[in-house]
Amino acid sequence: MKKEKFTAIILARGGSKGIKLKNLKRINGKPLIYWTIRDCMRSKQINSVWVSTENKKILEYSKKCGAKIINRPKKYAKDTSTSDLTWLHAIKFLETKKNTSIINVVGLQPTSPLRDKNDLDKACHLFLKKYDSLFSALPIFDHFIWKEKNNKLFANYNFKKRPRRQNIRKKYLENGSFYIFKKNKFILKKNRLFGKIGFYPMSKINSFQIDDNDDIQIIEGLKKYF
């Protein structure tokens, strides 16, 4: 059985509430999923790249890009299907059907096509130093936020003594670009984050995700510029 230090598993189902066949929508002349497959293929740390999908068009295109294919059962391709259960299915398929011994998983979704070319390798290096699981993150400031209750506004900070931005403690938002986790512990926990959890910081631009058609136009402009 072949052992792999890092195995990339990209989740790319055909169904989508927001955008029909979102993973094949063209961004700068290439289907959305192309950019994530490309990022994985040029990584020096990732040993193999797999796409889990129930859609024939995505399957065929992913093969053309050089990725290997996992035929995803329809029960893992519903709107209610979780990524964690789908990664579990993929791992079991690879180890039982493809004779692959997985050590660590790089779990990705194609909706974040603006990763830097070195993000995955740097994150893998960081992960190996001290973590059981890791997520890509956008550093944020969550101050200056207001909410409405009973027709009244309430701030999450003291607006009478406004803090300087430099003095506000940073927080970290999971940006959904990728996760890295140890396979054995993931199978036990059935959750992508466990044990000693770390994060890999990314810029606001590289963290951008596609959820609707407006996002596609924004991403088009960002990719052309950068």
In a domain, 92, yes or no: yes
> What are the CA-CA distances from residue 29 to residues 81, 97, 163, 222 (Å)?
30, 35, 45, 14
In a domain, 148, yes or no: no
In a domain, 159, yes or no: no
**What average pLDDT does range 119-142 have in this prediction?**
95
Catalytic residue among 162, 165, 169, 192: 162
What's residue 155's pLDDT?
A: 84
Q: Average the pLDDT over each of 45-49, 71-75, 198-202, 209-213 and give the range with the smallest value.
A: 209-213
Q: Is 162 a catalytic residue?
A: yes
Q: Which two tokens stand for residue 120?
A: 């995955």
Output phi, psi for 110, to 5 deg.
Answer: -70, -5
Cα 137 from Cα 182, distance rounded (Å) = 19
Cβ atoms of 193 and 135 closer than 8 Å: yes
pLDDT bin (cut points 50, 70, 90) of residue 143 is confident
Cβ atoms of 144 and 204 closer than 8 Å: no
In a domain, 210, yes or no: yes
What's residue 226's pLDDT?
A: 55
Read off the CATH number of the domain in which 120 is found.
Answer: 3.90.550.10
Q: What percent of the chain has pLDDT over 90?
A: 65
Identify the three-state secondary structure at position 17.
coil
What's residue 11's pLDDT?
A: 97
Q: Give the residue numbers spanning the domain of 187.
A: 2-139+173-225
Domain count, the chain: 1
Instruction: Please give the distance of CA 10 from its chain centroid, rounded to a whole number.
Output: 8
pLDDT bin (cut points 50, 70, 90) of residue 224 is low
In a domain, 106, yes or no: yes
In a domain, 162, yes or no: no
In a domain, 83, yes or no: yes
Angle at 131 between CA 80 and CA 110, to 5 degrees: 40
In a domain, 149, yes or no: no
